Structures are given as C-alpha cells and as structure tokens.
Structure 1
Amino acid sequence: MVENLGRIVGKLFLFILFLSCFIFLDAQVKLRALDIAGNSFQQACVGEPFMLEVEMIDIRNSMQVPTIVGLDRFVAKRTGLYMHTVNGKSMIKYSYRVRIDQPGMYEIGPAVITDHKKKQVSNVVTVAVGDQSIAKKTIPKKKEHGNTKEFLRLLVDNNNVVVGQKVPCALRFYYNNNSIELKQIGKPEISSGVIKNVEGPLSGRESIDGISYKYIEWQWDLYPSQPGKITIPAYRVDFDVRPKRAHALGSFSLLFGPNAERKRVYSNAARIQVDPLPLYDGMVQAVGDFRKIEAQIKPAVVKEGEAMVLAIELEGDGDLEAIEIPELTELPKELKYYKSNSSIIEPMDKTTLPKKRFEFIVQGIACGEWEVPQQSFTYFDVHNRSYKTLQTVPFVVTIVPQTTLSGSLPSLQQKSKKEKSRMIPANSIYPINSHGPWYPVTQREPMSWLLFGFLSSIPVGLWLYQLLWVWMTRYWCRNQLLWWRKKQAFWMARKQLKEAIDQQDVTRIYHIFVTLIANCCPESNVQISFSSIKQQLYKKGLSENIIIMWGKFFTRATEYAFMTNNKNKSSYTAFFRQAEQWINRFEAIRW
C-alpha cells in the first residue's frame, strides 16, 4: 500500500514538473518596429517618430515592465499597455514611441524580462534611419472618390546657417474637408536652439500637383545655439472630422454614435547644418543683416549738472531681443552716463526693417563743449559670411554754467556749495541743479474775444449736428430707406444661393425665398405662406401664367426642404438655375 502511494506521488510530481517546463518553454517575448499606422517596417526618417512594440506571451510576472537594450540612446516614451487573455493564454503588449535624430543603422533590443528568476529575451530589430531624401512623401494620393487626405508639412527657409542666425520656419496643415476642426498641436522639444516670434494660425490656398488645397499655417523663427547638425523633429496635429451623416441629421446625430472622428497626422522632420562662427579678435554683438546705426542726444545744450537723453537706434534683421545695451566707449570724463532702457520698434511697412533703440542718461559735470565719439557695432553678416562694423557719427554737446539770481550769492553759501561738491565721489552722478533761475519763458498774449467765441461755438454746433443727424436717421429709416433694405435682401439671397450651389444643398432654396419675400414686404406683421406670397404677386401686377409657374417652383422647393424621399440630384442644376431666375425677376418688381 505504501509502495503504491509512493508511485502515485512520484507520477504526480513528474507531471507537475513536465507541465511547468512546458509553460516556461511556451513563454515568448517578441520585439517589433512599426510605423505610426501600425505597419511593420525597417526604415525610418530622421526626426520622425515610429513605434516599438514588446509582446509577451504567457509571462507569469505580468506586472514587470520589460527592459529594452539600447532604447535610452534615443528619444523614447512609453505610450500604451494592452492585456488580453483567451483560454488561459495571456498576452501583454507594451508600446513605445521612439524618435532618432541622426541617420544610420541602429540595432534596438533585445527586450529582457525576468519570469520566475528566469530571463526571457526577445529578438533584436534593426532600423535604418535616413535623411529627408529617402523619407516617405508627405503628399497623399487621391482617394477613389476624388477627395484628398489631410497632411502636414514642416518648411524651413535655410538648412545651412551659422550659430545665432535666424532660420524662418513654418508648419502647414493642408486639407480640403470643411468639416475639420483642429484640436491640438504636438510641439517637439528642440534643445539646440531658441524659438521666437511665433505667429499664427494664418490661412491660405496652395496648388500641389494640380490639386488646390486650403491650409492653416504657423510661423516662427529658430535661432540655433550650438554648431553641428540639428534636427527639428516631426510635429503632429490632432483634429476631428465630422462625418457627412452628422451634417445631414443635425442635432439628432448625437443619438447615432460619436459626432466626430479623431485623427492624427505627422509632418516631415528637418535637418539643419549649423556652422560655427569664424574666429574674431574683438567682441561680436550680433548675427544677422544690419543696415545702419544712428545716435542722437536731446537736448544738445544744457546747464551744468542737468541730464540729457542719448538714443542709439540699430536697424536690421536678427535676434534683436538678445542684443544687450552696449557700453559707451571713449566718452569724455566730463560726461557721466548710465543705462536707461531699450525697446524694439516694429517696421511701418515691408520695405523697412525693425529697429532696436537703446537709451542712456548723460550728465555734464563740467562746462564746455564735449564731443561724444563714434560708437561701434560689430556683427557677423550672414549674406557675405564675414564680420562687419557699423559706426555712428560723432557729435558735440554744450554744457553751460549755472546762472544765478541778481547779484552773486553770499560767499558763505558759495563756500558751502564748493565743500559739498568736493564731498561727491568722482565716479558718481552729480545731482540735478535746483538753485538759480531756469531758462526765461516769454509771457503769452491773452486770447482774443473773436477766437474765444469761435471755440465756444464748436460744442454747440456739434450738438446741433448730432440732433439733426438723429432726426434725419429716424425719418429716413421710417419712410425713405426701404429700398436699401430690399437691396440688401437680394444681395444676401444671391450669396446664400451661391453657397447652396457650392454645397449642392437644395434644401436651402425654400428658406432663401421665404426670407427674401419677408424682407421685401412693407408690412411687418405679414405671415409668409404660399397664399400670402400669391396675394403679394397679384398686387404687383404679375400675370396669371407667371404666378402659376411660381406656385410650381415654390411647391418643389417645399418638397426639397421637408420631404427627404424626393431628392433627385440629377435635377439640382436646373432647379438652381430656376431659383436664380426667380431672384432676378423679383428684383425687377417694385415692392
């Protein structure tokens, strides 16, 4: 009995051991590279994202996140987790979005996970990353029904620049579907540059391969901060597409499922070669294209100790925000200055460039004529790829002595002033003078009575003009300006008819004519119906035959508007033409 029991236990132990080995052998870890649409591929474009998927089958330690060897070399982010179990067989998928910014051949993997102290290792995937020349095209092909897809383009004005040079960039979203609503723009991080002057959204049209597209555009300036090849990664745009069924059903479409479909598109990436600036012995203050530098001081003649404002204006194209207030060089020791503020002056038109204005407060501490020497500004010209220096024109300021009251001040006061002036350090700003007379001011003559009467009559005249204008407006609106209302009614009817023709929406014809006739009727309490319209046409002297033709047209418009089973698209063109003829005929009637 004991021997038989031992045999049973031994067989049970062997069965459990065999089952465990089978389970461990059946455990698998797979690593795949997919494009954004979920298709397998082996080649990606620089800066454009793709997906890595780790699939784990029958892994007992399901809560452990796999480790992918070599993934930390790239820009990667885990984006999803999927779990599935069928007939006791489990499957777990981890998804990662990966971006590689340098071309070449890369091996990613394997994915490693520890399952009951046993390492499970996946395969290794090889991804070829190429430049834009071998990247996939961003212009979609036509669909079968003639419409085109939505797509995104990243445009870069210059792909070979120097450090600090402005690179104009633009992002364009192309579409032809009016049911699109933008939701979110995914902006990648650019660590090797600074983005400034963001503008948009702007709209426009562009023809590509014979197809006219609408587009929405965002513009900005990129200033690279370090040399080398930098990559502007792909941007993404999320948008909703409202189905045609939702347009047809209106508010009732909410009862039949989602009202819009969320979609996402990616742009191309861009690579820019950034060269270092050539060696230069002096100080380089900017990079760009600068035209001129000017300096002026106001006032040019002041008393000793008074302040003047020295302004330097730099005109050109570059990173004006980054240009700091310069130091004034070779200024006479009799002139003290300190920095005040700076501002950017936008151009008035497209023929001029923006300016940056620097202001200084200058104070003369000794009498005489003193020259403010020329000030220099050195920059790297991006067109000629050389260093250039702009200089201001030197000018002279005059410092006059302080004038006193009649006679000289007591010697004691003069002595105390001298002692106070000696106590002021040489490198400080002298206080503004508060003693003695200022510049003489001539007394103005009194205003004449004639001028006083004329100025007093201006507000009275304006009041009378406003009163007359209100009276005339009320009178004209009540009796004389009905023709303007009718003219606007026919203009609006033609505009709505054109929109209905473009959209092939024949249901709008009924509402167009009901609104038109309501605006043309002089009685405000008339209820628009078939019989009331017929009475109005009889009053206007139309013949019986024309009124019968109108009745047929209006009945057909009513059927199109309220009977969904009576829409024959083949007859839309003729019906739209009849609607235009009736508008022209009604406009000739004196309502």
Structure 2
Amino acid sequence: MICKNCMNQKAQKMTGSIHIMQKLCKHLKITKSKYNDTLLKIKLQKKWWGSMEKKVGSFIVFLLLLCTSIVYASNQSIVVSVYDTHNNYLQQAMVQTEFVIQVVVHNISMGNTIPALKGLDQFQYSFQGRSSNYSMHNGQSSNKTIYKFIAKALHHGVYTLGPITYTDSSGNIFTSNLVEIVVGDQQIKKQQHGSKDRFQCSVQSDAYEVFVGEKIRLQIDFLDYVGINQFTPSLPTFQDIIVTDVTQTKKQERSFDKDNQEHLHTQWVLDCYPKQVGFSVIQGIKIRLIEPNERNDFFGFMSSMMSAEKELVAEPIGIKVLPLPHCQDLENIQAVGEFSKITLSTNIDTAEQGQGFTLRVDIFGNGNLEMIDSFSLVLPQEFSSYTTHAGKIDRDRTSKRFEYIIQAQESGTYEIPAQNFTYFDLNSGDYVTLQSNPKTMTITKGTHTYSDQYKLYEENELDTESENQITVSAYTILDTYDERNYWKGISLSLYALAIRVIFLLFLFMIGYRYFLKKYVLSHDKLQHFLLFLKAHRALKIAEKKENIATLYNVFITIFVGLNVGRRGEINENLIEGYLQKKCFSVDQIKKWNIFYHKLLQASFSQGDKKMSLLLVQEAFVWLSLLKNRS
C-alpha cells in the first residue's frame, strides 16, 4: 500500500514541473515575439536606408542639374572685340586702314535686330554680316550669334566702343564690355603665345615720315621655316606711290631668328616715291607660294607630297607724307631729290624760216624723275614750240629728257636763254635752282611753211617708237610674199584630203586607246611586272628614308595585286595558303611567318637603325621569291 505522503510528494513534484513548463513556454513565447519584432525592425531599417539612398542620389542628381542650369544661365553675355582683316587680335589699329569689330551674343535672342554699339559712329563703318551657331548641352540648347562690322578710323586717337545694352522680352537687361581702340600710324597685333607659323611675310620702310616726292625704300622679307622653291611676290596697284624699281637683295639665305630657329630668308627692296600729301597706307603686298602638304596615301606605296597654292599677305604699314615747305616765290615745284645740272641743246644750229628743229632739255640727277611731268620753256617771242612727247627717263634713271619742236617765223640770229630748273634739295632742306646753258640759233630766209612742223613732229614720233620697239625688218627674209595669195593657191582637194587624214587619225587614236587598254594594260604578265616594279621602288624609298613602317603595306598591296584577298581581309592564314599553292616549302613558310610578324611590329614602332636595314634587306629577298613563284 502506497504511502499517502509519497503520493502527495509526487503530486507536488508534478505540479512544480507543470509550473516550470508553463513558465518556459511563456518565456519562449516572449522570446519569439521579441525575435519577430527584431526582424521587423531590421527589415524596416533596411527599407528606410534604401529609401534614403534613393533620396540622397536623387538629391545629388538634382544638385548637378541645378548647377548645370546655373552655368547655362550665367553664360548669357554680349562680348565686343577688335580684329584685323586676317582675324588677329589688334593692340593698335592703323589710321585709314580697315579693321573688324566683332560682337558675339551668347544665348540671348535678339531676333533680326542689329546690336546698337555705342561709339561706332566715330568710324567709317559698314555692317559685314551675321552668322549663328546652335548646339545642345545637357539637353539645353545654346546659341551664339556673331555680328561683324568693317570700320576705318580717319584720325589718330583713342576711341571707346560700347557698351551694348539690350533688354529681352522677360525684362532681363544685358550689357556688353567696353573696348578701347588705339589708332596710330602703324598696325600692331597682340602677342600670342603658340607655335610659329611655317611662313612669315613682313613689309617695312626706311622712313615713315617723308616729303611728297621723297624717295623711300620698302623692304619685303619672306621667312621660310619649311624650305620651298615656288614663291613670288605680288604687288598691288598703288594709288598714292610710284614704284620705280624692284630688286631682290637676298635669295633663300640661311639665317636664324630671335628664337634661334633656322629659316630661309628672301628679301626684296622697292624704290618708291609718294605722290600725294597725307597719310598713305601701303597694303596688299602678298607672297604667292606653293605650300607642301604631306599626307600618307598608300596606293603608290609611298608617302606622296601634295601641294596647295597659298597667298601670304603682309601687314599694312603707314607713311606720313608731308607737303613741301611753302615758298612765296615758288609754286608747283615737283622735283625732289639731288640734281646736278640741266643742259640745253638742238639738233641743228641753223634753220630756215618756218623750218622746225628739235630742242632738247636734259635734267641730270637722282630724284623723283617720274613726277616731273613737264618743263616750262622760256623762248624768244618769234619762236613757237610744240611738245613731241612726255619726258623720257634713261635706263639708269640718271636723267630725264624733254623734247620740243621749235619754229621761227622771222629770220635772224636768236639766243634761246638759259633755262631754270628748281627742285627741293633733301640734304639742305631748301629749294635749289639750276641754270642751263644758253643756245644761239641762226634763222635764214626760206620757203618752209607751217605744215613742215607736223612733218617733223611725225618724224620725231617715229624715232621715239623705233627706240622702244624691235625693228621687224631685221628679222624678216628679204624675199617677201603675199600671204593671202599663198592660201588662195591651195586647191579645195588638198583641204578635203587634209580633213580625211585628220578624221582617220582621230579614229586610229580611239582604236589604239581601246586596244591598249583592253589587250595590253590588262595583260596578266604586264600587271605582274608593274606590281613588282612599283613594290621594288617603294622598298628603295623606304630604305633611303629609313621608314620601315611602310614595309607591311608594301607586302599587303602585293598580295592584293596577286588576288589573295581584298585589303582589310588579308591575314596570316590566307597568305600561308597562297604560299602553299605556290609550292613554298614548310621551312620557307615558317620563315615567312617570322618575317610577317616582324613587319607587323615594325608598322607600329620604329626599331634601331641596324635592325631596320636588316629588315629592308630581308624584304628585298622575299620580294624576289614572290616575284619568281607567282
């Protein structure tokens, strides 16, 4: 029989275990709910951080777009600048010389309105035109409009241009910059750092302030940093100066500039005389040249030299031409320089009444002989004078002669008085008068009439023309014939025969061209010969110039000509298959593959000189093998 106490003890133990189990289950439920809460919190945190990353990324993109739009908005501007006619920035413009005023409008719509530039009316100007440029940047359209004006300043000074003020449809006000233009006697470009031009042309004078009629020497310098042979100076038709002589003083002399760069220097010197008072602009002097332009065009297996015509325009220069000093007793003095004497002579010493004779006045010296248009004669009242022609300058420019036909109406002995010649002497700065010798003429009674003077006038004209023209009779055969009668003597049958012969020659040329093109030039052996001839020449040039980079193209062109494949498709396998067809041995094909890889490497990089020569020699060997086997 079980003890009651034992039963109670077992019941208490079971009750305790149930309580423990209940507590444990309750704890587990609490732990599970906490765990679920923790997982939920982690998921919510991940979701929150993910949304924050998106928000931050979107905010950064928004900031970038905002900055772009701010930059775009800040690029709205109006800029005024000054250039010469060759698009070089000007530091100083030349008086009475054209220059360019450029207005650039960025991202502002002005429609068809021309900007109102303040100060533009200070110059002689004309509107040259307008050009526009549109582009896209980050989805935003950008436009640039350029307005050009051609202007000329008539006086020296400092001029202010601008500003341009413009108000758009939204009420925004835009203002341009101010530009100061200095106008002087010479044009000065702004110094720009960069590479030196391949060619340079400049003009300078030995004096920039002279008297009218005073001699100046213009010097044209052509600097060649490339080395060309075809160039020539080109002079415009000057309105204000007379050019009397052009001399080449230097011809491609090797020299060095201030930067110690070597170049070829060619120089011309012009002797000139200004003929108008004021500011004379010398511009439009050019150098016409054939400029080489290297390009790689591999059909002829080599780099060819292409050329282009170019005009190099020198910067203009200004000469201030002063009037001669005023003298109350002298007017219309044309002669300026250094003159030595004046002589008076006649072709005869005695003439009959009414007979014309020639009177010569010779002026000797160094000066503006071309500007001395006439000479005022002082003659006895019984003499009449007729000018035969304008004064003639001798070849050495040491004298000028004026000739007149003189006719005396009454007999007697007359003295032609000494003639005066006044000029402005540059050394003394004063006027000097030279006096010729007098000339005595004896006029006898005769039967000559006024018509004789015209006969003598015509004889003098013929004499003058004969001095300037080649006598045709010295180069013609004495037995002359009538050319019209010669052509009349040819029968019509000969004309018909000549036409038939010409027609047959025409047909023969067409047939010959067709035969030559179809049966000769297209012949396989001829094509083969020409292909390897050109390749051999290309290898010779590559050897001479040590240019091994072209060897690869030479052999590729050979295989294209041998119909191995088209250019761009030829590879190592196609070439190897062609060599197998042409019975190259396995050892030769292996050596070819090694040579082929050398060619590929050489086409991308230059080796040393010794390796280059060896590769060229090996190329000649393979060229000979291919020629014999193909």
- Structure 2 partner of 1:108: 161
- Structure 2 partner of 1:56: 105
Letter of the structure 2 residue corresponding to residue 242 of structure 1 = P
Which residue, out of 480, 498, 506, partners 2:544?
A: 506
User: Contact conserved, 2:339 with 2:366, CA < 8 A, in 1?
Assistant: yes
Q: Aligned partners of 1:214, 1:504: CA distance in 2, in Å?
A: 32
Which residue, out of 277, 288, 292, partners 1:242?
A: 292
User: Contact conserved, 2:356 with 2:453, CA < 8 A, in 1?
Assistant: no
Q: Does 1:225 align with 2:263?
A: no
**Any unmatched runs of 5+ in structure 2?**
1-72, 455-477, 479-540, 547-601, 614-630
Q: Aligned partners of 2:125, 2:244: CA distance in 1, in Å?
A: 29
User: Contact conserved, 1:312 with 1:357, CA < 8 A, in 2?
Assistant: yes
Q: Does 1:278 align with 2:316?
A: no
Return the offset for 1:319: 3.1
Q: Aligned partners of 2:155, 2:359: CA distance in 1, in Å?
A: 50
Q: 1:118-146: CA deviations, max 9, x gaps?
A: 997642433353768995699x9996xxx
- Structure 2 partner of 1:384: 428
User: Contact conserved, 2:90 with 2:188, CA < 8 A, in 1?
Assistant: no
Q: Does 1:213 align with 2:271?
A: no
Q: Aligned partners of 1:381, 1:393: CA distance in 2, in Å?
A: 21
- In the TM superposition, 1:530-569 aligns within 5 A as none
Structure 2 CA distance for partners of 1:154 and 1:567, relative to 1, 3 Å: same
Structure 2 CA distance for partners of 1:33 and 1:337, relative to 1, 3 Å: same
Structure 2 CA distance for partners of 1:336 and 1:200, relative to 1, 3 Å: same
Letter of the structure 1 residue corresponding to residue 444 of structure 2 = V
Query: Normalising by structure 2, what TM-score?
Result: 0.50
User: Contact conserved, 2:204 with 2:317, CA < 8 A, in 1?
Assistant: no
Q: Does 1:326 align with 2:364?
A: no
Structure 2 CA distance for partners of 1:120 and 1:373, relative to 1, 3 Å: farther
Q: Aligned partners of 2:175, 2:302: CA distance in 1, in Å?
A: 51
Letter of the structure 2 residue corresponding to residue 56 of structure 1 = V
User: Contact conserved, 1:304 with 1:366, CA < 8 A, in 2?
Assistant: yes
Q: Residue 342 of structure 1: SS of its match in structure 2?
A: coil
Structure 2 CA distance for partners of 1:371 and 1:183, relative to 1, 3 Å: closer
- Structure 2 partner of 1:441: none
User: Contact conserved, 1:170 with 1:220, CA < 8 A, in 2?
Assistant: no
Q: Residue 396 of structure 1: SS of its match in structure 2?
A: strand
Q: Residue 217 of structure 1: SS of its match in structure 2?
A: strand
Return the offset for 1:71: 3.0
Q: Aligned partners of 2:394, 2:91: CA distance in 1, in Å?
A: 46
- Structure 1 partner of 2:92: 44
Q: 1:195-220: CA deviations, max 9, x gaps?
A: 43364777624545464532253625
- Structure 2 partner of 1:484: none
Q: Aligned partners of 1:107, 1:312: CA distance in 2, in Å?
A: 57
Q: Residue 370 of structure 2: SS of its match in structure 1?
A: helix
- Structure 2 partner of 1:584: none
Aligned residues: 391
- In the TM superposition, 1:332-347 aligns within 5 A as 332-347=380-395
Q: Higher helix proportion, which one?
A: 2
Q: Aligned partners of 2:351, 2:249: CA distance in 1, in Å?
A: 51
Structure 2 CA distance for partners of 1:326 and 1:61, relative to 1, 3 Å: same
Structure 2 CA distance for partners of 1:287 and 1:124, relative to 1, 3 Å: farther
Q: Aligned partners of 1:569, 1:369: CA distance in 2, in Å?
A: 99
Return the offset for 1:57: 3.6
Q: Which has the larger radius of gyration?
A: 2
Q: Aligned partners of 2:175, 2:316: CA distance in 1, in Å?
A: 31
- In the TM superposition, 1:167-186 aligns within 5 A as 167-179=216-228
- In the TM superposition, 1:345-356 aligns within 5 A as 345-348=393-396, 353-356=397-400
Q: Aligned partners of 1:504, 1:312: CA distance in 2, in Å?
A: 71
Q: Residue 506 of structure 1: SS of its match in structure 2?
A: helix
Which residue, out of 196, 215, 233, partners 2:243?
A: 196
Q: Residue 227 of structure 2: SS of its match in structure 1?
A: coil
Q: 1:518-565: CA deviations, max 9, x gaps?
A: xxxxxxxxxxxxxxxxxxxxxxxxxxxxxxxxxxxxxxxxxxxxx999
Letter of the structure 2 residue corresponding to residue 386 of structure 1 = D
Return the offset for 1:327: 2.6
User: Contact conserved, 1:49 with 1:234, CA < 8 A, in 2?
Assistant: no
Structure 2 CA distance for partners of 1:77 and 1:339, relative to 1, 3 Å: same
Return the offset for 1:73: 3.5
Q: Does 1:312 align with 2:312?
A: no
**Any unmatched runs of 5+ in structure 1?**
1-24, 404-420, 422-428, 435-458, 460-502, 509-562, 575-591
Q: Does 1:154 align with 2:203?
A: yes
Q: Residue 68 of structure 1: SS of its match in structure 2?
A: coil
Structure 2 CA distance for partners of 1:234 and 1:77, relative to 1, 3 Å: farther
Structure 2 CA distance for partners of 1:235 and 1:345, relative to 1, 3 Å: closer
User: Contact conserved, 1:43 with 1:127, CA < 8 A, in 2?
Assistant: no
Query: Aligned-residue CA RMSD in angstroms?
Result: 5.2
Structure 2 CA distance for partners of 1:286 and 1:130, relative to 1, 3 Å: same
Q: Residue 391 of structure 2: SS of its match in structure 1?
A: strand
Q: Aligned partners of 1:304, 1:118: CA distance in 2, in Å?
A: 96
Q: Aligned partners of 2:248, 2:301: CA distance in 1, in Å?
A: 29
Q: Residue 401 of structure 2: SS of its match in structure 1?
A: strand
Q: Aligned partners of 1:354, 1:84: CA distance in 2, in Å?
A: 62
Identity over aligned residues, as a percent? 21
Return the offset for 1:302: 1.5
